[in-house]
Amino acid sequence: ETGVTQSPTHLIKTRGQQVTLRCSSQSGHNTVSWYQQALGQGPQFIFQYYREEENGRGNFPPRFSGLQFPNYSSELNVNALELDDSALYLCASSWGQGRTEAFFGQGTRLTVV
Amino acid sequence: DQQVKQNSPSLSVQEGRISILNCDYTNSMFDYFLWYKKYPAEGPTFLISISSIKDKNEDGRFTVFLNKSAKHLSLHIVPSQPGDSAVYFCAALSGYGKLTFGQGTILTVHP
């Protein structure tokens, strides 16, 4: 059973650019959530995808968007990068919704300069 | 609007002693809580959870206590081990699976 994997692990982008982060969910999981963790803070919920549909969204602007594919892997896209987007981006997968344990990937460290 | 708060940024304990990590929440609609542990360069790892219909849940060295009237929960680790040194996050689970996290507490267990 493979765990949640994210790529790349580190990334440096320039302000104004666009970035795509990728996540392969754990085998058998059909729900993926994305979180942003700024330095010294807890993870903040960005959005969740369930069976390829966005199922919930946190307080993030529309330039944060995502996709979930038929194999339940997922992408997080961020357009018009700002310096404050520098953070650790975490992907979590789970089976179904509600009270089910979410398994996290190791994260992608994004630095915007 | 910080709905889940961990007011102690750090905690230092001696190996073998008890570690107590605290968490407060403001949203009375929260009814399921989890604790995660995070090492540097790794994602958070699930430790233990508790439903609001319980006031205590135990798993080995880890026990979580929930006081609904005070909107407070705590994680007890007994005995603490150096390998427990990590960042601990308290989180509340919303209906469809959204986790609302606290800011985290850095636990250091000294040999």
Mean of pLDDT values over B45-66: 96
What residues of A are in contact with residue B44 (Cβ under 8 Å)? 43, 90, 104
Residue B111 is predicted with a pLDDT of 94
Of chain A, the percentage scoring pLDDT greater than 90 comes to 79
Looking at the predicted structure, is the pLDDT value of residue A1 above 70? no
Q: What is the DSSP string of chain A?
A: ----EEE-SEEEE-TT--EEEEEEPPTT--EEEEEEE-TTS--EEEEEEETTEEEEE-S--TTEEEEE-TTS-EEEEE-S--GGG-EEEEEEEESSSSS---EE---EEEEE-
Nearest CA in chain B to A94: B97
Phi-psi region of A16 (alpha: psi -120 to 50; beta: other; left: phi over 0): left
Residue among A5, A25, A41, A60 with most chain B CBs within 10 A, to mutate? A41
Over chain B, what is the mean pLDDT?
A: 95
Residue A2 is predicted with a pLDDT of 64
CB pairs under 8 A between A and B: 69
**Please, which residues have CB within 8 angstroms of residue A107's CB and are 6 or more apart in sequence?**
A6, A9, A37, A88, A89, A90, A91, B42, B43
What is the tens place of the pLDDT at every residue in A14-42? 999 999 999 999 888 889 999 999 998 99
Looking at the predicted structure, is the pLDDT value of residue B95 above 80? no
CB contact under 8 A, A94 and B42: no
